[in-house]
Amino acid sequence: MDPLSEQTPFEVLSLSLRFENQEQQDWWQLTAPVLGQLMLHANYEVHQQYQYLVLFAHEIIPLLGPFPKNCRSTAQRALDPLEFCRNFQQAGNNIRLMFLPQSYHHHLNRQDPFGRSLTRAVLAKLGQVSGIELDLQVYYQLASLLTLTKTEEEKILQSTGWDNLSHPFNVQNAVGMLLAKTGKVMLKIDWFLPVKSMATGTPAVKLAFDAFRKLDQGDHLILPALRPMEDYFRTIEMQPSSPSSPQTMECVAMSCHLGGKASSRLKVYFKDSLLKFDRVADVWTLGGRLNHCPGIMEGLEILRSLWTILEIQEGYHYPAAQKSDMMSRNPGSGSTSSTDPQFFDGQGLGYNFEIRPGHPWPQPKIYFAPPCLTDSKTVDAMVMFFKTLGWEEEASRYKMNLQTY
């Protein structure tokens, strides 16, 4: 028997791949096996596994910069500046990855601290790779509206300094890649809005919605879905972003798929420190504006089931590092006068609303970040949730698959 037939694509490629330095080799050794296993468990054909592992080695690893010193647990691993995602859907699974464009030069030379020129260069480079679908028209339109100007950048650096900023205030862009089973790669670009909001004094949600309106250009492909979002979030009255004054509900990012204007799905992302199911229902339906839309109420019932499975403690949830600062500003009560309990466990919720050009309503999604759960409890919760959806095969394999990473 051929000994190579028993080796994984990662192991075979590792026999011949060479990297420019040890840090790139470390990226490959730690993260490529995870990508390989994700594709295997999502039933990618073996030739696609080879295709995407080679793409990862040649095109992505050189853009990740220095290898991080810390690693997180298996179930919640997100090695900044890289994140893998397995997307479960009724129609099947696919694998996505997201990375923050970086370089060794970026870390040594702070002439481009927020990556303005680097992001453009990365997209141009990826656009030359066979199999990657990329139309930069929408990117350039959004970049003119959302990227820090040189003057704004200098203002931030003089008042705060880049080293004193933390995510999401010290970065502007991330690049996402959908590794389709057809062999085609679809790109999306994310803009982290807080630093632009801080520099301009404009609420991040207004920056996002104004950019959507500019993209519409009178075609009315975006505005119908945008209007209920504008109406709802206007009632929340979000303020300009500030690292020293976090808000309970904040707009943190927007994104678009770079496949051409007609297919450029637009998304706006929010984070929320108030975890209450009544709040979830209100945001999910945009205060009732989406109640009549197909799938919205069914989705809300699925969320109710997951809420129960995760045993979420309702109340305000803040990062642990925020506790002393909040208490010093308002001893005894934190930053809110609400009677809802407060926790400093880092747990939170994320929302995004997706606009597809020509569709009349936005599509909501919700993200749970349960760091208070151990890996085993998170896995058990996912298994139980798969069973409630009737996904028995996924439920039976999920825990075993995770043990291989």
DSSP string, 234-246: HTTTPPPP-TTS-
- pLDDT at position 4: 54
Is residue 97 helix, strand or coil?
Answer: strand
- pLDDT at position 91: 74
- pLDDT at position 68: 79
- pLDDT at position 90: 78
Give strand pairing partners of 259: 135
- pLDDT at position 360: 95
Q: What's the pTM value of the predicted model, to 2 decimals?
A: 0.89
- Convert 21-46 to b/e letters by CB count within 10 Å (16 or more is b): eebbbebbeebbbbbbbbbbbbebee
- pLDDT at position 171: 85
- pLDDT at position 76: 42
Closest CA to 195 of 171, 214, 224: 171
- pLDDT at position 332: 38
- pLDDT at position 9: 97
- pLDDT at position 334: 38
Give strand pairing partners of 369: 348
Q: How far apart are CA 163 and CA 143, in angstroms?
A: 24
One pLDDT digit (tens) per residue for the chain, 405 residues: 455 568 999 999 999 999 999 999 999 999 999 999 999 999 999 999 999 999 999 999 999 988 877 654 444 444 468 999 999 887 778 999 999 987 655 545 567 788 888 899 899 999 999 889 889 999 999 999 999 999 999 888 888 877 777 877 888 999 999 999 999 999 999 999 999 999 999 999 999 999 999 999 888 899 999 999 999 999 988 888 888 788 889 999 999 999 877 678 999 999 999 999 999 999 999 999 999 999 999 999 999 999 999 888 899 988 765 665 555 544 333 345 467 888 777 778 999 999 999 999 999 999 987 655 567 888 888 899 999 888 898 889 888 888 887
Q: Please report, for the chain, the start and end positions of each structural domain, with discontinuous segments joined by +.
A: 1-89, 100-274+353-362
Is residue 187 helix, strand or coil?
Answer: strand
Give Cα 249 distance to the centre of its chain.
17
Q: Copy the structure tokens of residue 2.
A: 């051929």
Q: Which long-range contacts (CB under 8 A, 24 or more apart) does 345-349 make?
A: 345/317, 345/320, 345/371, 345/372, 346/317, 346/318, 346/319, 346/320, 346/371, 346/372, 347/275, 347/312, 347/317, 347/371, 347/372, 348/271, 348/272, 348/273, 348/275, 348/317, 349/271, 349/272, 349/275, 349/280
